[in-house]
Amino acid sequence: MAAPGTLRRFLATAWLITRKDITVEWRSREIIYTTVFFAASCILVFAFGFVKDGRPIDDVASAILWIAIAFSGTLALGRTFERERYNETLQALMLAPADRPAIYAGKLAGILLLMLAVEAVLVPLVALLFQAPLFRQPVLLVALLGSGTLGYAAVGTLFAAMLVRARSRDVLLPVLLYPITIPVIIAGVRGTAAAMAPDGGEMARAWVSMLVFFDVVFLTLSLWTFEAVMTE
Amino acid sequence: MPVRAPFDFTTLTVTDVSRHFGRRKALNRVTFTCEAGHIIGLLGPNGAGKSTLLSILATLASPTLGVVRYGGTTAREAGPAIRARLGALGHDLYLYPELTARENLRFFARLYEVDDAAGRVEAALTRAGLADRGDDLVSGFSRGMRQKLALERALLHGPRLVLLDEPFTGLDDAATQALVARLVALKQEGVIVLLTTHDLDVVDGLLDQVLVLQNGRLVTDERQPATGLRARFRRVLAGEAR
């Protein structure tokens, strides 16, 4: 178990990085606008395809919500690290004597907050356009979105940081990220569908447990490997 | 401003360092030693391996073969504490354009756990000549202002080894002279300054040691070099001699 001083230093560094990312994004609002616009466009296009005569195809809403989260998440990950690459500031972070896993945790928290902010727009939009009872079990919905987004962002942050110097990073990121996060997305889709069903609470809780398991595995592996993958 | 275990050194020893990218040898058995209080020029044509060597010295890359010792310790043995004694400035300036000058310095001061961060930040702004522009966004600064701020950012935590990649690029005469004066001050403080440059006229007479790389090999290691660097290394630096 980590000493209290070590844990405090880890959290202080992570918060410093997260706060910096929030400040930078608050001033530019570049990623949030782009990501929300892209995700909302995705959902609108799907709505034209899957809603006929005002009636959506059964159970399609949860899949469309998670597809929009995954696509917009990839966009946010790419843009966040592109910003760090542009002025080589990621290299400056790597040069600091701070623990590199703490730097990873800080970047992850920033991306997580960004994705959750986008989801706050997407969920009502999906509920409206697909007449989906997404708010039937709000606590379970929050748990599903929180744990699913964490698992997705945990792997995504590691890969986006790893690929920051790769020439074809924009192509490689989804190619690497989607196959590994497919279990998270499937669990999110099935869990959200269960949370919308009248008697799906038990099943939704099981999917939340599954997502928490994925989170633990992905976070542990990412924290463990970040130092190695960031040293050339 | 020690970070974790205090760590310091007065020599930098590079022994038989090679770095391979596939079959290409970016560095090939490079060996040299530098001492505290010296300004070392790392010269060579484009693609000679200068930036690769700086990355290895900054602990951002590992050598394929060979060893780098900071005093008697390798980067692996020292852990993150070694990075508290290194300062680096790349061609890109390691600054966040969306933050103000003061916010940039404060961020890095906290990241390096510098004592009296507020005092050091204000002193750094004054040294950079930006005391009255501290609350302006870096995105609005000229190249010269950014360069001065970036240098102070790299020196904020009092590093023993300072690595500068083309620090004179884009500076006007006044900014160049100010940078030269800052380097001399660092030398007097016992800092090891290792810089790459193509502006040989600027560093002529400033350097205590000249290292010339060509095709990944160290072809010259000259202490207390005489003036006239450009004339002496013209063929090598132009990449003509192969």
Evaluate if residue B5 carries a pLDDT over 50.
no
Distance CA A51, CA A42 (A): 14
pLDDT of residue B240 exceeding 70: no
* CA A158 from centre of chain: 12
Assess A179–B contact: CB distance below 8 Å, yes or no. no
Structure tokens at A204: 């939704």
Q: Do A232 and B55 touch (CB under 8 A)?
A: yes
Residue at A7 is within a domain: no
Q: How much of chain A exceeds pLDDT 70, in percent? A: 98
pLDDT given for residue B239 in this prediction: 57
The answer to whether A194 and A203 have CB atoms below 8 angstroms apart is yes
Handedness of CA A51, A55, A57, A59 (dihedral sign): positive
CB contact under 8 A, A97 and B88: no
Instruction: At B198, list the tokens.
Output: 């193509």
User: Alpha-carbon distance B123 to B153, whole Å?
Assistant: 11
Closest residue of chain A to B21, computed from CA coordinates: A232
pLDDT band at A51 (very low <50, low <70, confident <90, very high): confident
pLDDT at A200: 87
What is the tens place of the pLDDT at every residue in A159-213? 999 998 888 888 899 999 999 999 999 999 999 999 999 888 899 999 999 999 9
* Higher local confidence (pLDDT), A46 or A52: A46
Query: Does residue A58 surpass a pLDDT of 80?
Result: no
Whether pLDDT at B231 is above 80: no
**Cα dihedral A140, A29, A163, B52 sign:** negative
- Average the pLDDT over B165-191 and give the result: 90
Cα A105 to Cα A219: distance, rounded to the nearest angstrom? 9
Give a yes or no: residue A4 inside a domain: no
**Closest in B61, B80, B97 to A231, CB measured:** B61
* ipTM for the assembly: 0.88
Residue in B with minimal Cα distance to A232: B61
Instruction: Reply yes or no on domain B11-93+160-237 having CATH 1.20.1260.10.
Output: no
How far does B227 lie from chain A, in Å, by closest CA?
34
Is A151 part of any domain? yes
Greatest alpha-carbon span in chain B:
52
Of residues B238 and B30, more confidently modeled: B30
| CA neighbours closer than 13 Å in the CB half-sphere of residue A53 | 0
Ramachandran region of residue B224, left (φ > 0), alpha (ψ -120 to 50) or beta? left
Query: Sorting pLDDT into bands at 50, 70 and 90, what band is B75?
Result: confident
Least confident of A55-69, B7-21, B221-235: B221-235
HEC string for B125-171 = HHHCCCHHHCCCEHHHCCHHHHHHHHHHHHHCCCCCEEEEECCCCCC
Flag if B84 and A231 touch (Cβ within 8 Å). Answer: no
Please state the rounded mean pLDDT for residues A56-72: 91
In this structure, which long-range contacts are made by residues A25-29, counting pairs with CB atoms below 8 Å and at least 24 apart in sequence?
A25/A110, A25/A114, A27/B98, A27/B99, A27/B137, A28/B98
Segment (H or E) for A123: helix A100-129
Of the candidates A88, A91, A232, the beta carbon closest to that of B62 is on A232
- Report A:92-121 residues touching B (Cβ under 8 A): 92-99
In a domain, A169, yes or no: yes
Q: Which domain holds residue A117?
A: 12-230
In a domain, A6, yes or no: no
Angle between helices A100-129 and A4-28 (to 10 degrees): 50
Structure tokens at A79: 């843009």
Task: Please count the structural domains in chain A.
Answer: 1
Given a cut of 60, is residue B242 above it in pLDDT? no
Q: How many CB atoms lie within 10 A of CB B155?
A: 20
Q: Do A91 and B90 touch (CB under 8 A)?
A: yes
- pLDDT for the residue numbered A159: 94
- Containing H/E element for A224? helix A201-230
Q: What's the pLDDT band for B222 if we cut at 50, 70, 90?
A: confident
Asked if A20 lies within 8 A of B92 by C-beta distance, the reply is: no
Percent share of chain A, pLDDT over 90: 78
pLDDT in tens, A84-125: 888 889 989 999 999 899 999 999 999 999 999 999 999 999
Whether A20 sits inside 8 A of B93 (CB atoms) is no
Does pLDDT of B114 surpass 70?
Answer: yes
Phi, psi of B59, rounded to the nearest 5 degrees = 70, 15
Residue A2: per-residue pLDDT: 59
Contact B16, B66 (CB under 8 A): yes
pLDDT tens digit sequence for B25-44: 899 999 999 999 999 999 99
A59/A109: higher pLDDT: A109
Least CB–CB distance from B92: residue in A9, A28, A87 = A87
Q: Can you give the pLDDT at residue A1?
A: 52
For chain B, the residue count is 242
Name chain B contacts of A102, Cβ cutoff 8 Å. Answer: none
Nearest CA to A60 among A75, A76, A48, A74? Answer: A48
For residue A224, give Cα distances in angstroms to A102, A158, B27, B177: 11, 11, 30, 46
Among candidate residues A168, A167, A187, the one with its CA nearest the CA of residue A70: A187
- A228 interfacial to chain B (CB closer than 8 Å): no
Q: To the nearest whole angstrom, how far is the Cα of A25 from the nearest Cα of chain B?
A: 8
Q: Is the pLDDT of residue B18 over 90?
A: yes
pLDDT value at A232 more than 70: no
